[in-house]
Amino acid sequence: GPVKALCQPNESTASEFVFRAFSTVPETQHLLFALFLLLYLMIICGNVSIMWVVCTDHSLRSPMYFFLANLSFLEICYTTTVVPQLLASVLDVHRTITFASCGAQMFFFLALGGMVSICHPLCYSLIMTWQLCVKLVAGSLVLALLLSLELTVLIFTLPFCGHLPEINHFLCDVPPVLHLACADTHLHQTVLYSVGILVLTIPFLLICTSYVLIVAAILRIRSSAGQRQAFSTCSSHLMMVLLQYGCCSLVYLRPGSSSSEDENRQIALIYTFVTPLLNPLIYSLRNKDIKQALRKAVRQTVMS
């Protein structure tokens, strides 16, 4: 439950956390390391390709592709905040992390994750000036930084007692760290839910509103082939939205319990690896203009 037993007077306050290992079997550890490393490299390559082609091709200088390139950049930073630590903890059964490092990881993970969530609905805007684009990106950055700083400071003012408290996760996320506090965390849970609703629910409602308008526009298309193509594109986009926001909502918006910690760790693997890997495929590489620009860029690179 959210209320933890208070520290005993003779119990020392911890200064480090230890991550719970995925497995202590060497063969399994090596297999997981290879799998996570492969996925990470694929995420980097896919998103760097999108950034590269958007920055180098003048035909893609539009607000929509500006936001897609920003989304790819955020995905790279987001996964880089998590995956190197994850790879190290997979091979090290007793992987420890100091409070300062844990707090830094939590801050950047929350800030970048919040930016990804807030930027998702921006990709659907069609009528937008460059000045407004910059303001929206800057505004979402400031909002994400302020919210993540508030949560991180709030969490790390709590006492964590005992020798090397064990985080049942592969990163310093709010729910598993909050679960280790030996103090009353009702206020912290309330703030977490409030921030989760702000960062997840509002962008999700904006996306749903945009899809209603998009579907209404598709239904006005007279060509059945055009309707099928448009619905195919929208359905893949919607699948990614439901996957991203659904997984995050399960972790941050449901009541915490010890029985859900293992589930949260498994769900976190989805928005750590799956959605950053699929985002460039769904949002960009299925786009005809980006595919043409990418082929042209590859040809020019090979011929030069």
**pLDDT tens for each residue of 55-69:** 888 888 887 788 888
Inform me whether the pLDDT recorded for 7 exceeds 60: no
**pLDDT tens for each residue of 272-292:** 999 899 888 887 767 778 888
pLDDT of res. 125: 54
**pLDDT tens for each residue of 124-179:** 555 567 787 788 888 888 888 998 999 999 999 888 877 788 888 899 999 899 98
Inform me whether the pLDDT recorded for 231 exceeds 60: yes
Q: pLDDT confidence of 12, banded at 50, 70, 90?
A: very low
Residue 98's DSSP bridge partners are 16
Inform me whether the pLDDT recorded for 9 exceeds 50: no
Question: H helices then E strands: how many in the chain?
Answer: 11, 3
- Distance set, CA 158 to CA 19, 105, 138, 151, 187 (Å): 19, 17, 31, 12, 11
Q: What is the pTM of this model?
A: 0.83
pLDDT of res. 70: 87
Query: Which CATH architecture fits 16-296?
Result: Up-down Bundle (1.20)
pLDDT of res. 5: 40
**pLDDT tens for each residue of 72-87:** 999 999 999 999 989 9
Q: How far apart are CA 109 and CA 82, in angstroms?
A: 7
Inform me whether the pLDDT recorded for 239 exceeds 80: yes
pLDDT of res. 204: 85
Centroid of chain to Cα 221: 35
pLDDT of res. 235: 79
**pLDDT tens for each residue of 200-224:** 888 888 888 878 887 888 888 777 8
The mean pLDDT of the chain is 82
Strands 96-98 and 16-19, by their bridges, are antiparallel
pLDDT of res. 34: 96
Q: How far apart are CA 34 and CA 23, in angstroms?
A: 14
